[in-house]
Amino acid sequence: MPRSVKPSGEIGVEAAKVVKAAPGELYGVVATPNGTNVVVVTVYNSASAASGTVLASLRTTDKATGQLVFEPSVPASAGLTVVVTGTGAKVYVYYI
């Protein structure tokens, strides 16, 4: 049975947003700034907090969308927790 990559839904500025509270795989991150503020996204291998191993980190300029695509995917043995800084940011995480 094929596996389907899921989008997280829009994530704004968050101290710690749990995207998946179980083991999974990280396939990508897309971050769009609001035209004024830089966006910084950090994805942790954690089911509950902004701690543990950093699986991915992305920083955009104030005007350019940034993206990371992983092929093969990055395994997350505990889960996926995302931290976003940058007022007005829109972030999506793609995972299984």
More confident site: 2 or 41: 41
Considering the domain boundaries, does residue 29 fall inside one?
yes
Query: Is residue 23 in a domain?
Result: yes
Q: Which residues contact 8 (CB under 8 A, 6 or more apart)?
A: 17, 19, 82, 91, 92, 93, 94, 95
95 within some domain: no
Model pLDDT, residue 74:
98
Residue 77 lies in a domain: yes
Task: Report the number of distinct structural domains present in the chain.
Answer: 1
pTM for the model: 0.93
- Residues 69-96: what's their mean pLDDT? 95
Give the confidence band of 2 by pLDDT, cuts at 50, 70, 90: low
Structural domain span for residue 75: 13-89
Q: What is the pLDDT of residues 5-64, one digit of tens each?
A: 999 999 988 889 999 999 999 999 999 999 999 999 999 999 999 999 999 999 999 999
Q: How far apart are CA 53 and CA 31, in angstroms?
A: 20
Handedness of CA 11, 60, 87, 54 (dihedral sign): positive
Residue 14, pLDDT score: 83
Closest CA to 84 of 32, 22, 35: 32
CA atoms lying within 13 Å on the CB side of residue 37: 14
Please report the pLDDT score of residue 1 as a whole number. 37
